[in-house]
Structure formats: structure tokens, C-alpha cells
Amino acid sequence: MTRQRLYLYDTTLRDGQQTQGVQFSAAEKTEIALMLDALGVDHIEGGWPGANPTDSEFFAAAPATRATMTAFGMTKRAGRSAENDEVLAGVLNAGTPAVCLVGKTHPFHVHEALGISLEENLDNIRASVAHLVAEGREALFDAEHFFDGYAENPDYAVLCLKTALEAGATWVILCDTNGGTLPAEVGRVTRAVIVAGIPGARLGIHTHDDTGNAVACALAAIDAGARQIQGTLNGLGERCGNASLTTLIPTLMLKEPYRSTLEIGVTAQGLSQITRISRRLDEILNRPPLRAAPYAGSSAFAHKAGLHASAILKNPATYEHVDPALVGNQRIIPMSNQAGQSNLRARLAEAGIEVCRDDPALARILDLVKLREDQGYAYDGAQASFELLALGELGRMQHFFDVERYRVTVERRKNAIGRRISVSEAVVVVRIGGERMLSVSESVDEQGEDLGPVNALWRALAKDLGPYQANISDMHLVDFRVRITGSGVDATTRVIIESADGQGRRWATVGVSPNIVDASFEALVEAIRWKLIRDGVKPA
């Protein structure tokens, strides 16, 4: 069967930038455009040139891409020619091969937002698109509020599309601008538009996630015959976001009926980069990736429940709808109070800890994990602490050092120029072999700012660990998460610390105590013990 081509139009750099809290720099836009190009999308909408300095700067040095670089703008204002519309001129000045213009198709908006007649609006659409074509650009028309407009006046809404096509637009895109239309309605209207004479091969869909259905709505339009999807990486976009291409691309490539009837410009190799691209975007945005994101989230292939883990180890297809490797993601079988022996053996094997199937320590480890999780520990996010617990129960834990005592003080005072400062100081006494060692450390950065009591403790611990010093010198803390579990008099604090070393390893440890400093200290000590074991150090 020959597959029909479906085109992907990415608007991460335009609608994605309309996400509250997102502000790309021009350099970041360039990096994202290059990632999208390597992925295999067909159009990259780079922004609205002339609307803000960043977008103008991006287009002034837009990267060369195989995908068609597209500038976004709006149809000309009434009462002036397209040639004399300064907003349209700004968009054209970007010199892109394609321009996408948003225009009204909902009579309510024509009257309320623009304050012009329906005929004037049609004129604006016609003249603007014709001007782009005369300038040698590919013209696309985003039919704003199309589904609401169609509900009010279907003939007029379709006439706007026909006007754009007749003026030379290559694509007209049905936009569910307010995101309130449900998938069945998107499908019904898209079919009706095609029956009314708009070819599916020139029809696109642009949906928003206000009812949590942006991806479903995009698929409904494709089912009805539309052949271009507009969306964004990780579903960024105005309000609740746009249809996520990070979800749509794997779905179109791996799921029926799309896999065998449609073809997109993304290769299997590109698909295997989708998790990396998704996480890189979050890194650029300085926000934690959404764990539960379909396909690319870190929990997308995490099998926490014992029954699931047991079957997964026999055959991954039992609880996975696709192979995680196809989207560049990984299977995880975490330890927790939901786990059974299968999770346990899988996690131990991953850590290189060999245990016989009938070793009675397995049951003890499982019981201990469940007991400690009941006390506030969480091992599914602290694999290194789980390994230490298992080694202890197996009788294989090595004894590196004892902490005899520690003390932390936090002082708030005014400095010499009267500025209020706080200073944390820690004292740690450890015993290594027969030797007692005392370290003191203050926690201030180069600017003299206090980095807090946990940092002071870490510095004191890491200052002098005698024979182990060389092993911990390349170790640093990369993340620190605090959570109060329980409530009232039963409240306790859980601290998860993520550490990294010069060998590129990252590991997480957990500590629990009613006292936040004590919980942090437990996690810090565990982090050091894990590092010494992984480095193959022999106890002094």
C-alpha cells in the first residue's frame, strides 16, 4: 500500500514562546531550530519578526535548514494596502521562504476584535496572501477560531479558507484557538470542510490542550483527511499548550492506522532522538522534565508494581505498548513498597549484585524496603540507598568510617558594613580505622553568600576523609529535594540528594528524620559510602 504524505509544521518557536514563563533567546531558538531540522519536521515557524527584538534577531541570522523556515504574522489591517501595512512589511523583511498569516474566520471576532465588516475581512485575507505570493513566498493561512466560527456561520468560515486558497495559499489551517472543541467535533467539521471543497491535501490542523485533547483533536482531523499537523515540542504553547509533536510523532510512526497509511519526514533514527530532544528542551527552559510525558517521560517505561515487573522480566511486551528504545527512552524497574521479588532481582542485577534466586536475604530486603518506606523513605528515586540497604542485608556491606558526632550552627548577624548576613558552620568528627578526625567548615561562596547548613556539613565531611580523600575529591552535589511526609506530630522530613562525580556517574541517596539537617546528613553519608563502593575502595 502506498502511504500518503503527512506534513509536520512546528511552532515551538512561536506558539511555544507564548507559554507563560517561556522566553527563548535568539541563540536558544537557533539551537531548537537545528534540533527540529535534524528530527525531520517540514516547516519551522521561527517567530513573529518585527514583533519583538528576539524574534527579529533570530531571523536576521536564521540557521540554514532543510525544513522550510517560516515567519509568522497577521493579515493586513483594514484601510491600508498590504504593501503599506507595516506589520506585514516587518514579517516579509525577515526574508523567509514561507510566511504564515493568522486571520479571522469567526464573524464574532471580525466584528468585536477588528471592528470591520465580513467583506473587509475577506479582502484583508485575499490581499495579504496575494502580496506574499507576489513577493515569491510560500503563503500559509492560519484560520483563527475556525471551529467556533464554523459553529456560528459555516459558509463564512469556509469562504475565508477558499479566499486564502484562491489567493495562492499552499495550506489553510483549521485552528481551534481557544482549545475548547472536542475530538469528535474536530473530526466532523474537518470532514465537512473537505466536502465543502477544501482539499485535504491542503488542509492543516492546529489544536490547543485546554480540555486535555490537543493530540486527540489533531488525530481526529487527520482521520478526517487533513494532511498537515501544527504542534510544538513537549506541547508548549499558549495557556495549556499546543498539540505535542513529542507525542504525535511516535504515535504517527508506531501506531495503526497511521503507521501503515501515512508517511512523515521523520526517520526511525530521528524517532530514536525524540526523548533526548524533549529533555534538551526542558534543560533550555530550566524546568524539570515531566515524568509522565508519553513516550519521552522518565516514567513512561517505569514498572513500579510487582506484578508488572514480574511479567516484564519474562517478556517486556506484557506491560509496554512500544519498545522504549524506539523513542530513545529506557525501561526502569524501581524499588518501592509496590515491588515484589522480580523488581528486587532486576534492580540488584542492574547494580551488579549477584544473588541466588532462593537466597532468604531477598525476602528480608523486600520487607525492609516496605518497612522503611512506611517510615518515610522512598527508594524508587534513591537507587544508591537501596543498593546500600541490600548490601547490608546480604552481609556484604563494607565498613569505611563511623561518624562519631556532628554539629551545625547557623548564625544571623550584621557584617562590618551593616548588611544582614547568615553564616553556617559545621563540625564533623569521624573515626577511620583507629584514627579520629575532626573537620570544621563554613559554607560561603566566592561572593561571601551563605550556602546553608547542608552545604556546610558536606564541606566538613568532604574536607578530610583521610585515606578516602582522593576518591571523594571529584564528587559534588547536583540536586537536593526536601519533602515533608506525614502530618502533625507524625510529620517527618525526607531528603533526597543527587550526587555526581568526575567519571560521569550520578546517584541519589535518601535520608529521613524529623530534623531536616539530620535527614540531609544521612543522605550525604550514604552518598559517600556508595561512591567508595563503586570506586572499589578497600576499607582502611
Ligand X SMILES: CC(=O)SCCNC(=O)CCNC(=O)[C@H](O)C(C)(C)COP(=O)(O)OP(=O)(O)OC[C@H]1O[C@@H](n2cnc3c(N)ncnc32)[C@H](O)[C@@H]1OP(=O)(O)O
**Runs of H (alpha helix) within 196-316:** 214-224, 245-254, 258-261, 268-271, 274-285, 306-314
Could you tell me how far CA 20 lies from the centroid of its own chain? 15
Q: Which of 22, 114, 196, 326 binds ligand X (CB under 6 A)?
A: 114
Q: Which of 138, 144, 380, 387 binds ligand PYR (CB under 6 A)?
A: 144
Nine cell digits for residue 422: 547568615
Nearer to ligand PYR, 129 or 472 (CB): 129
Residue 113 interacting entry, from ligand PYR, ligand X, none, C-beta within 5 to 8 Å by type: ligand X
Do 318 and 312 contact (CB within 8 A), yes or no? Answer: yes
> How many other CB atoms are found less than 10 A from the CB of residue 445?
9
Q: Which of 103, 200, 324, 328 binds ligand X (CB under 6 A)?
A: 103
CA dist 270 and 35 (Å) reads 10
Q: Which stretch binds ligand X (CB under 6 A): 98-106, 351-359, 405-413, 468-476?
A: 98-106
Q: Does 421 bind ligand X (CB under 6 A)?
A: no
Structure-derived torsion over alpha carbons of residues 29, 30, 31, 34, reported in degrees to the nearest 10? 120
CA dist 20 and 194 (Å) reads 35
Do 281 and 233 contact (CB within 8 A), yes or no? Answer: yes
Nearer to ligand X, 52 or 318 (CB): 52
Q: Where are the beta strands (DSSP E) in 293-432?
A: 402-414, 420-432
User: Do β-strands 68-74 and 4-5 pair in parallel, antiparallel, or remain unpaired?
Assistant: unpaired
User: Do β-strands 492-500 and 506-513 pair in parallel, antiparallel, or remain unpaired?
Assistant: antiparallel
Residue 114 interacting entry, from ligand X, ligand PYR, none, C-beta within 5 to 8 Å by type: ligand X
Q: Which of 238, 373, 450, 526 binds ligand X (CB under 6 A)?
A: 238
Residue 74 interacting entry, from ligand X, ligand PYR, none, C-beta within 5 to 8 Å by type: ligand X
Q: Does 148 bind ligand X (CB under 6 A)?
A: no
Q: Which of 33, 39, 67, 74 binds ligand X (CB under 6 A)?
A: 74
Nearer to ligand X, 114 or 355 (CB): 114
Backbone φ and ψ of 31, nearest 5°: -60, -45
Nearer to ligand X, 121 or 234 (CB): 121
User: How many residues sit in the footprint of ligand PYR (CB under 6 A)?
Assistant: 8
User: How many residues sit in the footprint of ligand X (CB under 6 A)?
Assistant: 17
Q: Which of 77, 162, 331, 534 binds ligand X (CB under 6 A)?
A: 77
Nine cell digits for residue 73: 504574522
Q: Which of 206, 227, 372, 529 binds ligand PYR (CB under 6 A)?
A: 206
Backbone φ and ψ of 283, nearest 5°: -65, -45
Nearer to ligand X, 87 or 118 (CB): 87
Q: Which of 7, 9, 24, 48 binds ligand X (CB under 6 A)?
A: 48
Residue 38 interacting entry, from ligand X, ligand PYR, none, C-beta within 5 to 8 Å by type: none
Name the residue with cell 566566592. 446
**Runs of H (alpha helix) within 167-239:** 183-195, 214-224
CA dist 346 and 369 (Å) reads 15
What secondary structure letter does DSSP report for 317?
G
Name the strand (E) or helix (H) holding 446. none
CA dist 165 and 197 (Å) reads 11
Residues 71-110 that bind ligand PYR (CB under 6 A): 102
What secondary structure letter does DSSP report for 45?
E
Q: CB of 12: closest distance to ligand PYR in angstroms? A: 12
Q: Which of 99, 169, 175, 215 binds ligand PYR (CB under 6 A)?
A: 175
Residues 124-143 that bind ligand X (CB under 6 A): 124
Give the residue at shortest CB distance from ligand PYR: 175
List, in sequence order, every residue forming a beta bridge with 483; answer none if it has no partner.
494
List, in sequence order, every residue forming a beta bridge with 408; answer none if it has no partner.
426
Could you tell me how far CA 251 lies from the centroid of its own chain? 17
Q: Which of 10, 15, 209, 522 binds ligand PYR (CB under 6 A)?
A: 15
The binding track of 5-44 with respect to ligand X, each residue x by CB under 6 A or -, is -------------x--------------------------
Q: CB of 77: closest distance to ligand PYR in angstroms? A: 17
Q: Does 144 bind ligand X (CB under 6 A)?
A: yes
Nearer to ligand PYR, 36 or 426 (CB): 36
Do 511 and 495 contact (CB within 8 A), yes or no? Answer: yes
The one-letter amino acid code at 323 reads D
Check the CA dihedral 255-257-263-264 and report its sign: negative
Residue 206 interacting entry, from ligand PYR, ligand X, none, C-beta within 5 to 8 Å by type: ligand PYR
Q: CB of 324: closest distance to ligand PYR in angstroms? A: 32
Q: CB of 190: closest distance to ligand X in angstroms? A: 19
> Could you give the strand order of the β-sheet that contains 420-432, starting from the edge strand earlier in sequence?
402-414, 420-432, 435-442
Beta-carbon contacts of 248 under 8 Å, excluding residues fewer than 6 positions away, are: 215, 218, 219, 229, 231
Q: CB of 83: closest distance to ligand X in angstroms? A: 15
Nearer to ligand PYR, 146 or 507 (CB): 146
The binding track of 246-265 with respect to ligand X, each residue x by CB under 6 A or -, is --------------------
Binding positions for ligand X, rule: CB under 6 A: 18, 48, 51-52, 74-75, 77, 87, 102-104, 113-114, 124, 144, 177, 238
Binding positions for ligand PYR, rule: CB under 6 A: 15, 102, 142, 144, 175, 177, 206, 208
